[in-house]
Each structure stands twice: as structure tokens, then as C-alpha cells.
Amino acid sequence: MRDLTEIEAAFAGVNWRPHLIRIAIVWVIIPFFFYYFVASLTYWLGIRRKRLRLSGKDADEAVVIVLGDLGRSPRITYQARSLVEHGFLVNVCGYIESALPSFLYDEDIELNEISVIRNTRHLPYALFAASKAISQVFELVGVLTRVITDRTKYVLIQNPPCFPLLAILVLLKLTICPHIKLVIDWHNFNYTILNLRYQNERHPLVKFLKAYERCLGAKYTDLNLTVTDAMRKFLIGKFGFPSKKVITLHDRPAEKFRPLSGRTEFRDIQANHAEIFAGTKFDSTKDKILITATSFTADEDFNVLVDGLIALDDLLEEEKAKPKVLMIVTGKGPLKNAFLKRTAAHNWSHVTIKSVWLSDEEYPKVLRIADLGISLHYSSSGLDLPMKIVDLFGSGVPVLSMGYPVIHELVHEGQNGVCMSDNKSGEEMGQKLNRILFCEPEVMGKLKSGAVHESSVKWNDEWEAKLGQIMRH
């Protein structure tokens, strides 16, 4: 009895109310979350079974995604338009940082903006990349589960970038979205672009991205589109992709790109872009126009362009007619200020450099008036081709391009353009520009004819020939 009395005394001063509340809460919460989990699992399993049952039946929707600015992603927007023209309702997802092409406001296209995440806190690259990926996972899951419906047949993404997008899509495909066909439009490779930073393919992050692209792409995609035949061979030979799942879809210009119709159109374009010609005293009878479109990124060498223009400026001093060259640089990006700072430091005599940003509607018009385009694109992988050259050819403008093996799939030496032998030589660039523009008119005439010939093959022709039957629903 004494022991019982002691126990009662020990508990006599205890406040039982908080303990009882905690016990009640636990007994309520555990069943609630258990049944919520079971209900959610049942719901999503039901969605999965339904989508498997309906797979391919009356599917007339597609999702097109790029983790980049839609206004500066022409190929992926062309893909969306082609799908619409083949009867699909298309959800287009991406950053909206600049003016969009008008066709993206078609009634059969729904725009879905993805947030742009910038390194405003100036974190170390690896830390920022990790935090950005985590943030994007949450947003992308929300966007994708909203835009992918029972009627979605294709999900087409641009690569690069595809991290973490591809992993999320693979997870959805393996769980609640088994009905979708996953298509990657390969423009280049994530790991080679990252390697521009590290210059070491054995770096852990570079190796991880390479394995990420290879493993997920080879095993879980239904179709892969490449911009060159060389890239197709690489995916099949080096990454182990099934050959039947890889198709080369060459870049071709859209209908808005066409050659100049004549001198009247030239004068109209000149009058509508007075800011480009202001202060140049441009004489169309003897002066020439160069143009380069750029994103001002690390895979383009602006030093060789400036060195080449300096060399050209010196060569023009020796000409009796003293012709002038107007160099139009269109685009924006992280290295733009460095380029402008260097050009401003030189005392130019015969070359005038104008840096402008052109809208989607005005860009094709200004391309038409150029005598020659310059492409500074190197290709981090050596397997991709610059869309900028395609735009130039669509406008009937020949090109001087950096030289690398795969460029000859697009630029045919002496026929529609000329390639550099030494991509670091400003002297060579200056000499080539002078020869083409002023010294050998027959060479210029041949290049111009070749570029005009290239302009006859448009994006719709290429897409219909390669994908028309595959994508038709």
C-alpha cells in the first residue's frame, strides 16, 4: 500500500492536460496522413491506369519546353508552330524575357512562363547551380503536372539545357504520365558547354552531366532530333542510342527570311532603321555592310572579330576609293560590355560598328541588306551548327564562318560561304573580308548565288520531310 501511495503522490502534481492533448493530436494526425497517402496513391494510380488505357487514342496535345528565353529560341518555337500546323494544341513553356514571335499567340498555343533564376547573391557557381536546380524542380513539377493532360501525346524539350528537366520528365513518364512520348531536340550537349568553364572533361560535374545526358536520353526517350548528321552518329556510336530513335533535322530558315527584292526595299529598310546608319555617311554604291548576330557568350570569340575589323580598317586605308564598312552587331548577352569597351578603345577610320537589339519582326529585314555575314560560333562539342548562319542563308546572305569539322555540313567553301583556317587570326579574317567585299567581285557573286539558292529550302519543307508522318496524329 505504501508503494501505491507513493506512486499516487508522484503523479498527483502532474498536469495531465498537455499530455492528453498531444496524445489526441497524434491519434488524429496519424490516421489522417495515412488515409491521405492512401487516397493520393489511389488517385494517381487511377490516373496512370486511365492514361495507359487511353494512350494514343485521340491524343491531340503536345508540350514544348525550353529552359531559356522563348524570344531567342527560334528552333523550339518553330517546332511548336509545326505541331500546330499538324493539328496539335500546344503548351509552350519557357522564360519570357524578350518579345515573342507573333505566331506564339495563336489560339492553339498556350504560353506557360517559367521563372528566370539569376545569381543575384553572387554565390559560387556550384552552389548557385545546386540551389537553382532545387528551385526549378519544384516549379517544373508544378508546371508539367498542369500542362500534361490525358490528351498529351508528345513532350518535346530542347537540350541544352535539360537539367533538371529531363530527370523530372523521366520520373513522370515512369509514374503518372506513362502515355507521353518524350522527344529531345539536341542542339548541343550540356556537358560540353559546362566544360567551357572547367576545361577538364574529368571534372566531377562535367562527368556527371555527360552520364546524365547519356543514360536518361538513351533509355527513356522515344525520339531524338539532331541538328547535324555528325551529332546523330555521336549519339548512336558514343552514347548508345538506338539508331531508329535518332533523326537528323537540319536547321532551315522560316518563311520570314528571304533575300532582298531590290534597291527600293533596301532604301525602305535603311529609312526605317535610321539609328543604324546615323553618322555613317553610308554610300550604297561603294560601301559594304557586314552583320553578325550573337548571344555574346563564351563559345564565340569577339577578340578575333575586333582584330579582323582592325586589319580590314588598315587594308581599306590603302584603297583609292576609300570605301567604308558598316559592321552591324545584333544581340545581347553577358560579354556584350567587354566587346563594346574594346571597340570603343580603337580609333576607326573606315569601319563603323553599330550594336543594336532587333525585334523578331525587324531582324530578318536588317539581315537582307547585309553583303556578308560573320559567324563567330565555335561549337563546344564540335557537333552543332549555328542557327545564325541558317538565318543568313535564308536572307540570301553568304557567310564568313569559324572553321571546325562539322561546319561543312552547312557552309560549302567557295559556294555559299568561306571558313577560317586559323580561328584565332584577326589578320586572316581581315584579308578574307577585304578580298570578298572589295577585291574579287566574281567570288562575291558566286557566294551570293549560293546563299540565295540555300534560301529556297525552308523549315516547313525539312520538318514535313523528316517528321510529318511521324508526328501526324
User: Residue by residue, what is the 3-state secondary structure of the chain?
Assistant: CHHHHHHHHHHHCCCHHHHHHHHHHHHHHHHHHHHHHHHHHHHHHHHHHHHHHHCCCCCCEEEEEEEEEHHHCHHHHHHHHHHHHCCCEEEEEEECCCCCCHHHHCCCEEEEECCCCCCCCCCCHHHHHHHHHHHHHHHHHHHHHHHCCCCEEEEEEEECCCCCHHHHHHHHHHCCCCCCEEEEEECCCHHHHHHHHHCCCCCHHHHHHHHHHHHHHHHHCCEEEECCHHHHHHHHHCCCCCHHHEEECCCCCCCCCCCCCCHHHHHHHHHHCHHHHCCCCCCCCCCEEEEEECCCCCCECHHHHHHHHHHHHHHHCCCCCCCCEEEEEECCCCCHHHHHHHHHCCCCCCEEEEEECCCCCCHHHHHHCCCEEEECECCCCCCCCCHHHHHHHHCCCCEEECCCHHHHHCCCECCCEEECCCCCCHHHHHHHHHHHHHHCHHHHHHHHHHHHHHCCCCHHHHHHHHHHHHHCC
pLDDT band at 382 (very low <50, low <70, confident <90, very high): confident
Measuring CA to CA, which residue among 398, 232, 376, 237 is closest to residue 301? 376
What value, to the nearest 5°, has the Cα angle with vertex 20 and ends 14 and 22?
Answer: 115
pLDDT at 424: 93
Delimit the CATH 3.40.50.2000 region(s) of the chain.
53-252+461-471, 263-457
For the residues 65-73, what does the mean pLDDT come to?
93
Q: What is the mean pLDDT of residues 220-237?
A: 97
Per-residue pLDDT tens for 404-432? 989 999 999 999 999 999 999 999 999 99
Render pLDDT for 6-54 as a digit per residue (tens, 0 to 9): 655 555 565 666 766 667 666 666 665 555 455 555 545 555 555 555 4
**pTM of the predicted model as reported, rounded to 2 decimal places:** 0.83
Question: For 155-165, what is the mean pLDDT?
Answer: 95
Read off the pLDDT of residues 322-379 as tens digits, 9 standing for 90 and up: 789 999 999 877 888 888 899 999 999 999 999 998 888 899 999 999 999 999 988 8
- Reported as a single tens digit per residue, the pLDDT across 447-460 is 999 999 999 989 99
Write out the CATH class of domain 263-457. Answer: alpha beta
Of the listed ranges 6-10, 236-240, 295-299, the one predicted with least confidence: 6-10
- Does 53-252+461-471 carry CATH code 3.10.129.10? no
Instruction: Check pLDDT > 50 for residue 210.
Output: yes
Cell of residue 392, nine digits? 543568313
- Answer for the pair 430, 312: CB distance below 8 angstroms, yes or no: yes
- pLDDT, one tens digit per residue, over 92-132 is 999 999 889 899 999 999 999 999 999 888 889 889 989 99
Average pLDDT over residues 188-213: 93
Please tell me the predicted confidence (pLDDT) of residue 54. Answer: 46
The closest alpha carbon to 103, from 360, 364, 332, 389, belongs to: 360
- pLDDT score, position 33: 54
What does the mean pLDDT of the chain come to?
88
Residue 157 clears pLDDT 70, i.e. is over it: yes
pLDDT recorded at residue 99: 87
For cell 505504501, the residue is 2
Give the confidence band of 280 by pLDDT, cuts at 50, 70, 90: confident
Q: How many CA atoms lie within 13 A of 11 on its CB side?
A: 8
Nearest-angstrom CA–CA distance, 451 and 398: 5
